């Protein structure tokens, strides 16, 4: 059964079907439908002569090729998409009239694109960066786009500063370096001189910026939006995606190595999970604030550098998204999909967040140059599943054939069709918020506290998370050449937390100005720490190191237990030749030590069997593999005599190290190993 048949069919899928082309069993033609007799030789004047102008086949093929690229996205260029569906848990009528949030039996088709922000298209997946998490809901009332990130706040408070932020973040213009990295002078110069970024930079230096998988990160709408119900009552709302697999991250050393060992690590992870039927799931959460409570918080709810602590405004889980189908063609779908935070449906409206307001302009504008004209909404991936009618006409690549004489409103020749719909008929009516004020270029006073939530975030971290943040600052600033910029950032950090500033300063040879007033915030928001996240073994990859002579009686049931727990064991050996056990069993090998690496796995297990152990011991790769996995705090297991390899790798007993003999009974060994792998990482280990 191919993947297309396995997933649940839906209205978007049926629509896309009309555009899918399968070349199997077909004759080759030109784009004009003319059958081609030879696709290997251009038409020449004599076998050794020049190519002829007349060769329309050559010219068509080459011209198409010459124009096969479109401009990459200015930000979020590197991304990967998947199809799926969303279902609400219960009617949300009290809060919003959005139709797709009413009926739990309705599956709304979605397309999601995950991305990094800074890197060019094709750059590595595991760099330190914010991740984009953009969802297009193809609802009956039109497309609704929730264009979010995996971090709940942003660097700046006003959209007019976005070009500056991005110019500072991108490779420096004089030498186009560094690629996909914020560890350079202009970025940190921007940060130090735009202190509204203090909160975001704490998140960007945290483990959130190096996710283990797109399947294991949260998503946030960031801005405050508005829910509006049938009665016209509005409420402020923030959106969250919560992954069912929990929130997990890589360690920095691992992330850097992965960028070389498998630059496609996150893309591959998502693609393979969906191919294997391990469909990623995320619950949609909302935080709601009543309009009358708008000013009851010690932050401005319109300020995108602030979050609403979950302990104060709880997240209500209202539905679930399941990604169950990979794209058919990355260019046609992931590259051509066009998101826009302004694509809303009745029941969802905007707030006056000045960052959101600017985004409402930027997204359509950028598609005009990226997708080459105003008709990008007609591309298969962007088309709504409901009909669309208006008087917009013509332009590059128009695909719709609009019939009739009129293309204007109002008209009498076509009885005024297409005509606007009344609110009761689904016509979108903007929320009638009362606004008055002088035209003014100014930031509200209520936006000016940049440090309290940065400190709140810091206070909420566990010791190990704090260590990671400190090291990230030391790394990033250590790459900055300007001593002055380094010092400015340390001064900025002092206003968040003095101890952090001291540790960072010590690592980069800067000094701390003790006069700076540290933020006095002492409270924390436990929900911000990743430590208490969901920990399950599902979909975790285990490297099984084995050689000829492995103990099949032990290994086979162990592998079955891992599979039953939803894990993916893959055998790593010195060659790809199937392995022979002493009692005549065979084992297929998935990778060699040359083609794989410990960074590609969540946990490592060494099969038992004296001969297998000795063969693994003879070469250095197995010990190096284990040593590295151990240094990345991963679960390590060894059966019986294989424990000797752990010793040779310098791995003693310790948290997350499971050796068969030491488990109370051999039968509980697999449970102990699965539990250790589900932990994700064992931070209390000395490495
Ligand atoms: Fe974007 N952003 N952005 N952004 N953004 C783009 O749109 C922009 C912001 C986000 O997978 C661009 O189609 C401005 C916040 C995602 O296709 C562009 C501002 C958040 C994606 C653009 C922001 C995002 C984009 C580039 C400041 C999280 C990828 C290509 C006011 C809530 C979507 C494109 C995809 C992409 C502008 C800030 C998320 C240039 C002006 C805050 C996930 O239009």
pLDDT, tens digit (0-9, with 9 covering 90-100), for 324-372 = 999 999 999 999 999 999 999 999 999 999 999 999 999 999 999 999 9
CA-nearest residue, atom 27 of ligand 1: 159
Of ligand 1's atoms, which has the minimum distance to the CA of residue 134? 43
Of ligand 1's atoms, which has the minimum distance to the CA of residue 356? 31
- Per-residue pLDDT tens for 36-61? 999 999 999 999 999 999 999 999 99
| Rounded Cα gap, residues 612 and 582, in angstroms | 10
pLDDT classification of 123: cutoffs 50, 70, 90: very high
CATH class, range 458-526: mainly alpha
Comma-separated ranges of CATH 1.20.1370.20 domains in the chain: 458-526
Q: Indicate if the pLDDT at residue 666 is higher than 70.
A: no
Comma-separated ranges of CATH 4.10.91.20 domains in the chain: 8-64
pLDDT in the model for residue 513: 86
Of ligand 1's atoms, which has the minimum distance to the CA of residue 362? 44
Helices 463-478, 498-508: inter-axial angle, 10-degree rounding: 40
pLDDT in the model for residue 516: 80
Which string of DSSP letters, residue by residue, matches 466-492?
HHHHHHHHHHHHHT---HHHHHHHHHH
CA-nearest residue, atom 42 of ligand 1: 154
pLDDT in the model for residue 640: 86
Task: Select from 459, 377, 399, 390 the least CA-distant residue to 428.
Answer: 390
| pTM strictly above 0.80 | yes
pLDDT in the model for residue 653: 81
Would the CB of 132 count as within 6 Å of ligand 1?
Answer: yes
pLDDT classification of 662: cutoffs 50, 70, 90: low
DSSP state, residue 376? G
Would the CB of 146 count as within 6 Å of ligand 1?
Answer: no
Would the CB of 462 count as within 6 Å of ligand 1?
Answer: no
Would the CB of 358 count as within 6 Å of ligand 1?
Answer: yes
Cα 229 to ligand 1 centroid, rounded to whole Å: 28
Q: Indicate if the pLDDT at residue 454 is higher than 70.
A: yes
Helices (H), ranges, 247-380: 252-261, 265-275, 354-370
pLDDT classification of 540: cutoffs 50, 70, 90: very high
Would the CB of 267 count as within 6 Å of ligand 1?
Answer: no
Comma-separated ranges of CATH 2.40.180.10 domains in the chain: 77-170+196-380
Would the CB of 342 count as within 6 Å of ligand 1?
Answer: no
Of ligand 1's atoms, which has the minimum distance to the CA of residue 115? 11
The CATH label, of 1.20.1740.10, 3.20.20.80, 1.10.10.10, 3.40.50.880, for the domain at 539-677 is 3.40.50.880
Residue 162 known to bind ligand: yes
244 in the Ramachandran plot: left (φ > 0), alpha (ψ -120 to 50) or beta?
alpha
Q: Topology of 77-170+196-380 in CATH?
A: Catalase HpII,  Chain A, domain 1 (2.40.180)
Comma-separated ranges of CATH 3.40.50.880 domains in the chain: 539-677
CA-nearest residue, atom 41 of ligand 1: 359
| Rounded Cα gap, residues 328 and 318, in angstroms | 30
The CATH label, of 1.20.120.1690, 4.10.91.20, 2.40.37.10, 3.40.1010.20, for the domain at 8-64 is 4.10.91.20
Residue 267 known to bind ligand: no
pLDDT in the model for residue 514: 82
Would the CB of 322 count as within 6 Å of ligand 1?
Answer: no
Cα 65 to ligand 1 centroid, rounded to whole Å: 29
pLDDT classification of 7: cutoffs 50, 70, 90: low
Q: Would you please indicate which residues are annotated as catalytic (active-site) residues?
A: 76, 149
Give the residue, out of 76, 155, 219, with the most ligand 1 atoms within 8 A of its beta carbon, to mutate for a pocket test: 76
């Amino acid at each position: 059964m191919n993947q297309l048949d396995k997933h649940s069919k839906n209205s978007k899928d049926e629509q896309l079907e009309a555009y899918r082309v399968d070349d199997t069993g077909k004759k080759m033609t030109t784009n004009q439908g003319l059958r081609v007799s030879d696709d290997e030789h251009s038409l020449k004047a004599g076998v050794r002569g020049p190519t002829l102008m007349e060769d329309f086949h050559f010219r068509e093929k080459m011209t198409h090729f010459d124009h096969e690229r479109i401009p990459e996205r200015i930000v979020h260029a590197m991304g990967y998409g998947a199809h799926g569906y969303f279902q609400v848990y219960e009617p949300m009528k009290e809060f919003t009239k959005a139709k797709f949030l009413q009926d739990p039996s309705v599956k709304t088709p979605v397309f999601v694109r995950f991305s990094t922000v800074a890197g060019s298209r094709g750059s590595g997946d595991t760099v330190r960066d914010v991740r984009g998490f953009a969802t297009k809901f193809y609802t009956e009332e039109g497309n609704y786009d929730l264009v979010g990130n995996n971090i709940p706040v942003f660097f700046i408070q006003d959209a007019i500063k976005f070009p500056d932020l991005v110019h500072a973040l991108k490779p420096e213009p004089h030498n186009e370096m560094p690629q996909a990295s914020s560890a350079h002078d202009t970025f940190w110069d921007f940060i130090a001189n735009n202190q509204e970024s203090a909160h975001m930079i704490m998140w960007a230096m945290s483990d959130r910026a190096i996710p283990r998988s797109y399947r294991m990160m949260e998503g946030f709408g960031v801005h405050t939006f508005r829910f509006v119900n049938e009665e016209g009552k509005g409420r402020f709302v923030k959106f969250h995606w919560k992954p069912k697999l929990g929130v997990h991250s890589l360690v920095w050393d691992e992330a850097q190595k992965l960028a070389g060992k498998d630059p496609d690590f996150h893309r591959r992870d998502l693609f393979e999970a969906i191919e294997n039927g391990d469909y990623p799931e995320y619950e949609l959460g909302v935080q709601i604030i009543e309009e009358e409570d708008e000013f009851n918080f010690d932050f401005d709810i319109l300020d995108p550098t602030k979050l609403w602590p979950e302990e104060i405004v709880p997240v209500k889980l209202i539905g679930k998204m399941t990604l169950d189908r990979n794209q058919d063609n990355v260019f046609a779908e992931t590259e051509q999909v066009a998101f826009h935070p302004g694509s809303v449906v009745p029941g969802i409206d905007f707030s006056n967040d000045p960052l959101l307001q600017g985004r409402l302009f930027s997204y359509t504008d950028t598609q005009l140059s990226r997708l080459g004209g105003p008709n990008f909404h007609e591309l298969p991936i962007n088309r709504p599943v409901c009909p669309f009618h208006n008087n917009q006409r013509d332009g590059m690549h128009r695909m719709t054939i609009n019939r009739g004489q009129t293309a204007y409103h109002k008209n009498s020749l076509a009885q005024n069709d297409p005509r606007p719909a009344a609110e009761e008929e689904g016509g979108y009516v903007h929320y009638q918020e009362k606004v008055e004020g002088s035209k003014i270029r100014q930031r509200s006073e209520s936006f000016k506290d940049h440090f309290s939530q940065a400190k709140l975030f810091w206070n909420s971290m566990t010791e190990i998370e704090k260590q990671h943040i400190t090291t990230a600052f030391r790394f990033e600033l250590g790459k900055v050449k300007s001593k002055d910029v380094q010092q400015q950032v340390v001064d900025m950090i002092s206003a968040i937390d003095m101890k952090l500033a001291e540790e960072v300063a010590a690592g980069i040879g800067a000094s701390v100005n003790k006069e700076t007033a540290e933020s006095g915030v002492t409270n924390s928001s436990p929900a911000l720490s990743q430590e208490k996240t969901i920990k399950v073994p599902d979909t975790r990859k285990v490297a099984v190191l084995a050689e000829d002579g492995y103990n099949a009686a032990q290994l086979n049931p162990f592998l079955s237990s891992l599979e039953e727990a939803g894990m993916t064991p893959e055998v790593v050996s010195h060659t790809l030749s199937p392995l022979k056990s002493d009692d005549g069993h065979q084992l297929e090998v998935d990778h060699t030590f040359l083609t794989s690496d410990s960074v590609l796995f969540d946990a490592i297990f060494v099969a038992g069997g004296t001969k297998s152990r000795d063969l693994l011991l003879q070469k250095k790769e197995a010990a190096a593999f284990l040593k590295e996995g151990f240094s990345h705090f991963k679960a390590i297991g060894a059966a019986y005599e294989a424990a000797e390899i752990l010793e040779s790798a310098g791995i003693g007993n310790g948290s997350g190290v499971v050796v068969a003999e030491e488990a109370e009974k051999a039968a509980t060994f697999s449970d102990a190993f699965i539990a250790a792998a589900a932990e994700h990482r064992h931070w209390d280990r000395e490495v």
